């Protein structure tokens, strides 16, 4: 649930304090990028 007024208006990534925000995942709309699963080598 987005509670941050900046995240509601423009989104977390456009916020001026995005890089130092400690609660962007809890009160904002930020979702960390998913890491791709490692590929298995077929031998």
pLDDT in tens, 1-43: 778 888 888 988 888 988 898 888 888 888 888 887 777 776 6
Cα 42 to its chain centre, rounded Å, is 34
Residue 2's pLDDT is what?
Answer: 76
Residue 7's pLDDT is what?
Answer: 86
Residue 43's pLDDT is what?
Answer: 60
* H helical segments located in 1-43: 5-9
Residue 32's pLDDT is what?
Answer: 84
Residue 41's pLDDT is what?
Answer: 73
Q: Distance between the two ends of the chain, CA-based, in angstroms?
A: 46
């Amino acid at each position: 649930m987005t509670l941050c007024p900046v995240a509601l208006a423009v989104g977390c990534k456009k916020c001026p304090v995005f890089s130092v925000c400690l609660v962007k995942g809890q009160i904002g709309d930020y979702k960390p990028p998913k890491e791709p699963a490692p590929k298995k080598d077929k031998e």
